[in-house]
Amino acid sequence: MGLTLNSVDYYIGSRALLSGASLQILPGEIHVLLGPNGAGKSTLLALLSGDLQPAAGEIRFEGKELKGLKSPELARKRSVLLQSSNVPFAFKALDIVRLGRMPHPRSAFDAVAVEKSIEKTSAQSFKEQVYLTLSGGEKQRIQLARVICQLEGQTGNRYLLLDEPVTGLDLHHQLRMLEIAKSMAEEGCAVFLILHDPGLAARYAHRITLLKAGRILASGTPQAVMNEHLLSELYDIDVHVYSRHGEIEAIVPAGVREAKTNGQKPHRITLSGEASGQRESEISEEKIKQEKVMNRELKERWDQLKKEDPRLRIRDAAHRLQVSEMDLLCTRTDDVVYLRPEFKEIMAAMGSAGKVMALTRNEACVHERKGTYQDISANGPMGLVVGPDIDLRIFYSGWRHAFLVTDNIRGTIRKSIQFFDGYGQAIHKIYETEDSQPGALEALAQKFRNDDQSMDLEVNPVPEPTPLNDQYGEVDKAALLQEWSELKDTHDFFGMLKKHKCHRLQSMELAEGKFTTLLQNQSPTRMLELAAQKEQEIMVFVGNPGMIQIHTGPVENIKPLNEWINVMDPDFNLHLRTDLIVKVYLVEKPTSEGTVTSVECFDQFGEMIVQFFGKRKPGIPEQESWRELAHSLKAVGV
């Protein structure tokens, strides 16, 4: 039966990372996944391992739904080696391998399993060394020994999932690593691994799957899929494949092809309704009819989704329908009003609404804060709202559209003003509350109502994310760290990164051990729980390219739910998807007022998800209680 994906989709925002993916991993086989950077390979592996849940389709493990299996049961049959396995503590290499026995009841066999795994990976000569002192290749072999150790002694089928296990290894140890994978398969283990070298894949794989832009191009034996046509299409280069007697001997890149786009073009969304005479003269009647039909069909599909799931949010519906949130919004002809793009003026008038709820989000985190818009200002493309409750940093250059939206939430009418970028993605939303000035948002909408309500709006396709490695540049580490040590204000940090042309996450990695500490991904959950227990007031920053929203104060009601960790307080809600957190750092920045400590979370593309600080004001040193809490997170997961 094996481990199978059946028509699996996975989204981040409106971008599909996987679409209709189906494959089968069988015991006794090495199954290799090949694809260019950003194809969705690590996402597919995370779905197979159970770390991510599909938006559509199903994943089955030995005939059972993967999501229904308990973690300990799964961990005894399936082990996973990720691209990087960071250990910030001075454990011996032997102790790292012993961690592989954690899912099993303690027994005398544990010592045997550890030694067998170390022997298989030829790591005997450095097993007593401190892990942090090992070379990159030695660390990789110890981590492989750990995941092999996890499966030792198990009866029945076993599954070994490896994400780029030969990255950073020399040729000898690349082959050694794959020989180990081969021996595991010969013992009956199912081995699934991600590689970047088609030649190694052809040599060792029983089955190869080709993945490009989230879609599977082909899957089969090396002889079936490793041909010049498919490989050239996969990598957008010309590839020569040399074979003899039916066996592939060499795969050679022959030249770079002209880059291709993903085929997406900007599209327009048009509400049904009367367009102006000028617009009618510019656009053919046939085009208008086509756009109306498309919008009617889209609305019908959305209505069907709402019938199936009445609580489905518009953003989630957009993901499932593979359109932008604004595309769906503009099908609502009766309860949406398009506003003039006078964003600064609209925001400047927002104080008249009284107590409202401000919402800012990114793909992994939602920040909701109730309060009144106060002390509103703008300077060129930048804006500020610096009230005690609503605290915003605004970047207007990407703002494109504004709407008044009327929702009927289980019989209660709720109005909001919503702002979007050119990709149809929400930047900021402002909702009425029970304490708002009655009719205030409606009055603002009438003041800024656009004369043209045809909503013939251009929506651009979301750009493909740049792989993280391509965002990193050559940085003088010593010079960066020297300037870091001389910081006087946290606001100078961004300028420092810009000067050194250094990505923020890259700076975290370069400063490890000096100004940063890599934490476990569950640290933000523990941090919120501790802040609630200790009544520690904190600052929570959540942003997107057009807005940063800040909460300053206590957090009290911490509620985990599936992959979400939630703060559910009367005037502040936070919803953080922990499964989309890839790295968490404890960060220390020297200032003229003492060290400022933060906890910063990043996604797989190096984008900031959320930042946490202790409550502080300019001129006042950081609270020691916050610093102690933050540093205690180093022990999380140990």
Model pLDDT for residues 577-630, shown as the tens digit of each residue = 999 999 999 999 999 999 999 999 999 999 999 999 999 877 789 999 999 999
Core vs surface per residue 521-530: b (16+ CB within 10 A) or e = bebbbbbbeb
Phi, psi of 577 (to 5 degrees): -85, 105
Give pLDDT, residue 259: 45
Q: Hey, which bits of 297-421 come out as E strands?
A: 336-339, 354-361, 365-371, 376-379, 382-386, 391-395, 399-409, 412-421
Q: Which amino acid is at 120?
A: K
Written out in words, the top-level CATH class of the domain with range 1-77+157-260 is alpha beta
Give pLDDT, residue 86: 64
Give pLDDT, residue 263: 45
Structure token pair of residue 623: 């609270």
Q: In CATH terms, are 1-77+157-260 and 468-635 the same topology? A: no
Give pLDDT, residue 253: 78
**CB 157, CB 190: distance < 8 Å:** yes
Domain ranges of the chain: 1-77+157-260, 84-153, 267-459, 468-635
Please give the Cα distance from 497 to 325 (Å, whole number): 33
Structure token pair of residue 169: 């290894």
Give pLDDT, residue 257: 58
Give pLDDT, residue 638: 38
Span between the terminal Cα atoms of the chain, in Å: 35
Give pLDDT, residue 140: 85
Phi, psi of 91 (to 5 degrees): -80, 150
Query: Does domain 468-635 sit in CATH 2.40.37.20?
Result: no
Q: What parts of the chain have a pLDDT lower than 70?
A: 14, 84-89, 245-246, 255-294, 636-638
Architecture of the domain whose range is 267-459: 3-Layer(aba) Sandwich (3.40)
At 632 the three-state DSSP class reads: helix
Please give the Cα distance from 424 to 415 (Å, whole number): 20
User: Per-residue pLDDT tens for 255-281?
Assistant: 665 544 444 555 555 444 443 344 444
Structure token pair of residue 378: 């703008």
Core vs surface per residue 228-256: b (16+ CB within 10 A) or e = eebbbbbbeeebebeeeeeebeebeeeee
The answer to whether the Cα torsion of 231, 235, 238, 241 is positive or negative is negative
| Sequence-distant (≥ 6) Cβ neighbours of residue 277 within 8 angstroms | none
**CB 609, CB 626: distance < 8 Å:** no
